[in-house]
Structure 1
Amino acid sequence: MKLYYLQIILLFTLSLGAQNTTFTNPVLPSGADPYSTYHNGYYYYTNTVGNKLILWKTKNLAELENAAHKTIWTPPETGMYSKSIWAPEFHIINGKWYVYFAADNGDNNNHRMYVLENNAEDPFKGEWVFKGKIAANPDRWAIDGNVFEYKKQLYMIWSGWEGTVNGQQNIYIAPMKNPWTLDSNRVLLSEPTYVWEKQGDLNDANNPPHVNVNEGPQYLEHNGKIFIVFSANGCWTDYYSLGLLSLEGDDVLDPSAWKKHSKPIFKKSEENGVYAPGHNSFFKSPDGTEDWILYHANSNPGEGCGSKRSPRMQKISWNKDGSPNLGIPVSEDTTLQIPSE
């Protein structure tokens, strides 16, 4: 009898330590603009919270609900970066941690990009130091900054306005002098041109008076080929989707070197119950053999840009021409294997 109880205790203990090998989407009940960075065996994950910056730490992104998390920065009560903290991204550059985010003073017209720095090996430790605003030339409305290195040069891509009036969001790029300073005038890479980038309902008084949006740019490299995946259409519409820019030349600052694909590469699936999929990021499996997409989406039509957007993830593949094949957003009933370890 004593041996029997010892076996029960052992089995119970093992079950507590076991990691689930499958999961279903969403991986959190709420969380827009998901982003992750893999470092020293852990995924460091974040999403838009709105009034602060929160960082999650986990070995398995499918278990975010049980992951350790920490508020690493709370904005001042007033000032130009005190409100609407959007789309944070954590990057490791030259051995230091940086978090890029958009913020304003309560007036959306004043949204700009900002950055914090941390020298610690583990971003849960050390001190997050406010480095300041990342201003382009000209200094215009800016959100959704993404930083990447190409041919040993650091660049930032983001979504911004051409002028000072909210009428259209474009994708811009600029080289960086250092992780907190842009080094030249901004360059326009993409603006909404195709019909699929301009879908939406202008007759709804509760929605902004425009639907021409390119935002959430994400740098992606595979086998030497360079891409930018971006979100198109207003997030308040079910038509929110992902588009693709492919680098056809060598100069990332040359707009003519980029080709925009004529159709979206990831869009809503009414059959699977996934609406307005977008504002994505990419990550690799722990063993480096698989490529995955993180994105947010709604579970029902008409849920817009609010708290019902939830983070989801699924494995992607690659087309014969080297471009990413994101597939179709999977249903919440689909059981998926966790990223390969």
Structure 2
Amino acid sequence: MLFAQRRGTAWRALPLVAAVVAGLMLSPVGQDQASAAPGPSFTNPAVGVPNSADPTLVQYNGNYYYVATTWSSDVVMRRSSTIAGLKSAPEQLVLRTGGTQMWAPHLEMVGSRWYLYYSVEMSGAPRRTHVAESAGSDPMGPYTYRGVVNLMPDNGWAIDASLLKLNGALYMTFSAFHGDGLQSLYIAPMASPVQTSAFGSRISAPTLAWERQDGAVNEGSFALQRGGRTFLTYSASHCNGPNYKLGTLEYRGGDPLAQGSWTKFTNPIFQRNDANGVFGPGHHSFFTSPDGTETWIAYHANSSASQGCGTTRTTRVQKISWNADGTPNLGVPVSTSTVLQGPSGETGGPSRVHIRNRHSALCLDDYNFVTTPGAEVRQWTCNDLAVQDWYLRSVGDGYYEIRNGHSNLCLDNKDFATAPGSVVQQWTCNGLAVQQWRITSVGGGYSTLTNRHSGLCLDDYNFGTAPGAEVRQWTCNGNNAQQWTTL
């Protein structure tokens, strides 16, 4: 029997499908398609503090992928099949930037690769835009660092980069300081997703009164394209105050590098709403619903007028609409008590992950392909087989049911034990506390898994490192044998 030989061989399943993705995934359109049922309801914030400012949220192959400022040198990512599940989705480390601090990571797909752009300060040097490239079509990576995107002369300050595909060419929009001292919007032509063909030129300066509150700023640009029209939305005024907001440029033809080719809307399109308790909404991205019929915005905002540019900002999401003249209508930022229906076409299903131990570097595994209640759980060399597929379904309060993709059984605290060394097994999913696990981030993309009934942590028992290493529960102690990452 094939499965009986598996533990003595190095056999691996070959990937069945190679994802082929064409074009640049920038511009949510969603026209002339039948809509599906809405996803599970949720309330804002979609992601809470602290890693929740300057968000980019993309939807790809039925999952959402989320990155934001981390206030460290690392980029971490969340993945969820629903917006409702994003809040409690574990963070996974995808890139160590090596900088002093990283801001505003931005995720874009070009062809079949993902590109992660981020602003970073290297030991007091000017903040510049760097880029990393994925090895394949998985937004979670792995990523390879591709260097600095040279956007301004003399290694100049350039932040908040995002891509724009226009007239068959690729451009990068970003924020930089002009000779007049104004932090402005720039655009640069790209020879490739990682290299410019010329320095940037200014297309917008903060000259209107509503762009100059608490400081004159244009930054955080993001393209929105629909019906053959191109809008470049951006953040205006300074984030230190409650009047940080969104404005819009529209491309009206001609050379995209010329300021005269862009027309600025006279008024902001998204700003504070005191009645709803939302202040300083800005630095945003747009994404489509899974069925392609809806466009949504992800942005950060504060809940108090006295809060500014720090870790108080949280990520909010809401659906946008379109005016009769074809311009975007973002509405008003909703309150955190407003219940929203999830984007159309969300399955509401659990997220599929592999669970790897930090100490052993082995993956949690349905040992010997067993499908009956009581099946063993061990660690094994990470592979592509369904025995290492685990489906995480939120049961509330930060706890998850963890079900194996091969056995369809749930990770279980055997016999309701509570003593260190208690055995874990797989059992028929039943919703009891012995099958509920709290996922708690410990940083660096790793988390602990704590059983709700026993209060013990999932543990690489006796620090095993060989395939077949045992997994048990033990008193939570924070060491690497109790730290797990999702792949």
Offset of residue 114 of structure 1: 0.2
Candidates 218, 233, 236, aligned match of 1:232: 236
Task: Please list the CA deviations of residues 173-230 of structure 1 after superposition, one character each: whole Å capped at 9, or x if unmatched.
Answer: 0110011111113111100010111112xxxxxxxxxx11000000110111100000
**Which of 32, 36, 40 pairs up with 1:21?**
40
Q: Distance in 1 between matches of 2:120 and 2:218?
A: 18
Distance 1:177 1:50 in 2: 31
Deviations 1:110-145 (A, max 9, x none): 1000000112222335x3111100012424211100
Alignment of 1:52-71 (within 5 A): 52-71=74-93
2:274 corresponds to which letter in structure 1?
A: E
Out of 195, 208, 217, the residue aligned to residue 194 of structure 1 is: 208
How far apart are the structure 2 equivalents of 1:188 and 1:276?
25
Q: Please, which of 147, 150, 162 is the counterpart of residue 146 of structure 1? A: 162
Q: Deviations over 1:49-108 (max 9, x none)?
A: 0211011111112321222431011233xxxxx12201001111121111000001243x
Change (3 A) 1:121 1:68: farther
Q: 1:194-233 counterparts in 2 under 5 A?
A: 194-200=208-214, 211-233=215-237
Q: Distance in 1 between matches of 2:294 and 2:202?
A: 32
Q: Give the superposition deviation at 1:251.
A: 3.0
Question: Pick from 146, 152, 155: which aligns with 2:171?
Answer: 155
Q: Does 1:262 align with 2:266?
A: yes
Match of 2:111 among 70, 94, 105: 94
1:50 and 1:25 map into 2 onto residues whose CA distance is 22
Q: 1: distance between equivalents of 2:267 and 2:53?
A: 24
Letter in structure 1 aligned against 2:163: V
Alignment pair present for 1:115 and 2:131: yes
Structure 2 equivalent of residue 35 of structure 1: 56
- Structure 2 counterparts to residues 173-322 of structure 1, below 5 A: 173-200=187-214, 211-322=215-326
Tell me the distance in 2 between the aligned counterparts of 1:177 and 1:241. 32
Question: What is the one-letter code of the residue matched to 1:259?
Answer: T
> Which deviates more from structure 2 when the two are superposed, residues 142-151 or residues 305-314?
142-151
Instruction: Supply the AA of the counterpart residue of 2:68.
Output: N
Alpha-carbon distance in 2 for matches of 1:36, 1:250: 31
Q: Which residue of 2 aligns with 1:49?
A: 70
* DSSP-derived class of the 2:87 partner: helix
Aligned to 2:260, what secondary structure does the other structure show? helix
In structure 2, relative to structure 1, the CA distance for the partners of 1:253 and 1:240 (3 Å cut) is: same
Q: Distance in 1 between matches of 2:56 and 2:250?
A: 22
- Partners of 2:240 and 2:135 in 1: how far apart? 38
Shift of 1:162: 1.6
Is it true that 1:169 corresponds to 2:190 in the alignment? no
Runs of 4 or more, structure 1, over 6 Å off, are none
Flag structure 2 segments of 5+ consecutive residues without an equivalent.
Answer: 1-37, 346-487
Q: Distance in 2 between matches of 1:301 and 1:137?
A: 34
RMSD after superposition? 1.6
Could you tell me the TM-score, scaled by structure 1's length? Answer: 0.86
Match among 327, 330, 342 for residue 326 of structure 1 = 330
- Report the CA distance shift for 1:246/1:20 in structure 2 as closer, same or farther (over 3 A): closer
Give the match for residue 339 of structure 1. 343
Residue 402 of structure 2 aligns with which residue?
Answer: none
CA contact (8 A) 1:238 1:275 kept: yes
Amino acid at match of 2:58: T
| Equivalent residues of 1:50, 1:83 under 8 A apart | no
- Give structure 1 stretches of 5+ with no counterpart: 1-18, 77-81, 201-210
CA separation of 1:94/1:316 partners in 2, compared to 1, >3 Å: closer, same or farther? Answer: same
Q: SS of the counterpart of 2:225?
A: strand
1:62–1:106: structure 2 CA closer, same or farther, 3 Å change rule?
farther
Aligned pair count?
304
Distance in 2 of aligned mates of 1:124 and 1:285:
20
Q: CA deviation at 1:321?
A: 1.5
Q: Report the CA distance between 1:272 and its aligned residue.
A: 0.5
What is the alpha-carbon distance in structure 2 between the residues aligned to residue 190 and residue 154 of structure 1? 19
Q: TM-score if structure 2 supplies the norm length?
A: 0.61
SS of the residue corresponding to residue 256 of structure 1 reads helix
SS at match of 1:157: strand
How much has 1:33 moved relative to structure 2?
Answer: 0.7
Query: Which residue identity does 2:69 align to in structure 1?
Result: T
Task: Spell out the pairing of 1:116-135 with structure 2 (5 A cutoff).
Answer: 116-125=132-141, 127-135=142-150
Contact 1:58 1:68 in 2 (8 A): no
How far the C-alpha of 1:172 sits from its partner, in A, is 0.2
> For residue 298 of structure 2, what is the amino acid of its counterpart?
L
**Using the alignment, how far apart are the partners of 2:94 and 2:138 within structure 1?**
12
Identity of aligned residues (%): 40
Measured in 2, the distance between the counterparts of 1:28 and 1:178 equals: 32
